[in-house]
Structure 1
Amino acid sequence: MTACAVSDFGHGSGEAVPLAGESALRLLVVDDHPLFREALASAIALAFPKAELHEADGIGAACEILSRDSAIDLTLLDLSMQGVTGFEGLDTIRARFPRVPILIVSGVTEPRIMGEALRHGAAGFVPKAVDKATLTRAISEVLGGALFMPPDLATAPAPARGGDKAPIAERVARLTPQQMRVLGMIRQGKLNKQIAYELQVGDSTVKAHVSEILRKLEVISRTQIVIETAYLDFDQAGGGF
C-alpha cells in the first residue's frame, strides 16, 4: 500500500486555537475512508492553520511517512481499517515509532475498547462523532503531554483483563528504573515538562515513558496511577525515589 499525498493545508479560515510552536507542527491522519480524512483535515486546518498535515490510508503507508519524517508530532489513528484486526495497527506504530504519540479517532464508543487502547500505548481516544472543540482540545492536550479521554469516561475505572489483573506491586515491578523515576514524579503531581527538565530528557521521551507506565500498570489516567499506588511501599518495591 502506498502513502497518500502529503498535504500542507496552510492558513485556514475560522477561529484558530493558538499553540506554542504551531508553525512547526506536523500531524499524521491515518484512516482508510477518504471522506473522513477530508473532514478531519478540514477541522484540524481550522484549529491549527499553520500545521502541516500528512495523510495515510493504512498502517503501511503511515509507517512509510513516519520513517521519512522523524518530526511528526502526533498521529491520529482509526482502529477499524481494512487488513487491521483489533489493536494491530496501534501496536505496529507504537513498536516502530514509540516516541510519536497516537490519538485514536474511532467510530467505536465502547469504554472497554477505549481503556484497552490506552493500555496498548495510545495517548488519547476520541469518538468520530465528537464536535470540533473537543477534537481540538484532545489534540492540544496530547501534544502538551497529557492523556485525553472523553469527559464522561476520563474518571471511569480501568476494566480488568478477564479478572486476572496482577496486584499493583507486581505491576510496578514491571517498570524500568527510569520509568520508576517518572512514576515517582507523577505521584508528586509534576507535569511532563517538569519531569523532562529534572531528568534532562526531551518531552517526547517523557511522553513515551508515561504511555508505558500506563500500559504496564493497566490504568488509563494519571489519577488512577496515584490512586492505585497510594499505599505502596516504594522502598520495598525498589523505587528508591
Structure 2
Amino acid sequence: MQDFDGSDRSVSIRMTLVIDDHPLYCDALAATLTKFSDTREVQAVNSLQDGLKALAAGLVPDLVILDLRLPDVTGLGGFFKLKERLPDVPILVISAQSCDETIGALMEAGAAGFIPKDASRAEIADALHRVQDGLKYLPPGFCPQRRAQPGDVASVREISQRIADLTPQQSRIMSLICAGKPNKQIAYELSLAEATVKAHITALLRRLGVRNRTQAAVLVNSVGLDRGDPLSDAEARAVLS
C-alpha cells in the first residue's frame, strides 16, 4: 500500500489552477498561494469543464486545487478526469466532506493531499509547503486504519466515472434524490415539469446501472458524493484572516 507520508520529487509551484465555484474562496486561496508558495500566477475557473478547456488551450499548471463539489460534477469523478489529463501534476483536493473513506480513496488514487473546506490559512499553507517538498498532505484527525484498499479504489473509480457521465441536470436531480426529495419537490425546485423529472430519473438510473432511486442514492453515497453545504462568505473570509 502507498505510504501517504512518503516523499516524491520537490515541486516549484509557479502556476496554479484553482477549480472552485466560490469566488471569495478562490480569492482567499490566491492570496494564500502567493504568500506561502512560489506561485506567481493563479488561474481560477468555476467548473471542471472550464478547467479542462483551459488545459486544452495550453495552460500548464504546476499545481491544481480542485473542489469536489462543482456545478458540472460532484464527487470523485472530477478528480479522476483531471488525474487522467495531468498524471504528473500534484492535485490538492478541497471539500466540505472529509470522511476518512473519501480521503483514503483520493490518496490511494494519487491525490497530493486533502484540505477540508473549513481549514485555516495556516493549514492551507502547511499543505502547500508539503507539496512543494514533494510530500503528501493529510488533514488533522485522518484515521489511517480506515484507508481505502486498492480494490476499493478500482470500484470507486468505476462508480465515480458513471456519476461523472451524468448530465448537469441529471447531477442536480441526483443530489436532490440523495437529499430525500420526492419527484414533485424536485420539479418545483428545478422549475421543471414532473414528467420531465421522471424522464431524467429514468435516464440517470440507466447510466448508473441501478433499478430505482434508493439503489442510486446508495451507489452515489458509497463513493462519497459531496452534499455538504456550500461555504458561506463568512467562512471564506476566515481563510483570509
Q: TM-score range by the shorter chain?
A: 0.5 to 0.7
- The higher-RCO structure (CA 8 Å, 6+ apart) is 2
Structure 1 residues not aligned, in runs of 5+: 1-18, 166-241
Identify which of 110, 118, 128 aligns with 1:139.
Answer: 128
State whether structure 2 residue 111 is matched by structure 1 residue 122: yes
Q: Sequence identity, in percent? A: 30
Q: Is the 8 A contact 2:105 2:152 kept in 1?
A: no
Structure 2 gap segments, 5+ residues each: 1-9, 155-241
Structure 1 residue 128: Cα displacement: 1.4
Q: Which stretch shifts more, 48-57 or 103-112?
A: 48-57
1:28 to 4, 17, 40: 17
Structure 1 counterpart SS, 2:78: helix
Structure 1 pair 154/68, CA: closer, same or farther in 2 (3 Å)? farther
Q: Distance in 2 between matches of 1:100 and 1:131?
A: 24
The runs of at least 4 consecutive aligned structure 1 residues that moved more than 4 Å come to 19-22, 160-165
TM-score (structure 2 length as normaliser): 0.53
Q: 2:90 aligned to 87, 101, 107, which one?
A: 101
Residue 28 (structure 1) shift: 0.9
Deviation sequence 1:74-101 (CA, Å, 0-9, x none): 0000001112132111111111121111
Q: Does 1:83 align with 2:66?
A: no
How far apart, CA to CA, are the structure 2 residues paired with 1:49 and 1:145? 14
Q: Do 1:75 and 1:102's aligned partners in 2 also have CA atoms closer than 8 Å?
A: yes
Write out per-residue CA displacement over residues 36-62 of structure 1, whole angstroms, 9 at most, x where no aligned residue: 212222222332375211111111111
Q: Verify the 8 A CA contact 2:109 2:153 in the aligned structure 1.
A: no
1:54 is paired with a residue whose SS is strand
Classify the secondary structure of the residue corresponding to 1:98. coil
Residue in structure 2 matched with residue 40 of structure 1 by the alignment: 29
TM-score by length of 1: 0.53
Cα RMSD of the aligned pairs, angstroms, is 2.8
Q: Distance in 2 between matches of 1:29 and 1:81?
A: 12
The structure in which a higher percent of residues are helix is 2
Describe the superposition over 1:81-124 as per-residue Cα deviations: whole angstroms up to 9, x where unpaired.
11213211111111112111100011112111111112332111
Offset from partner CA, 1:119-161 (integer Å, 9 cap, x none): 3321110101111121111112123221111132264441448
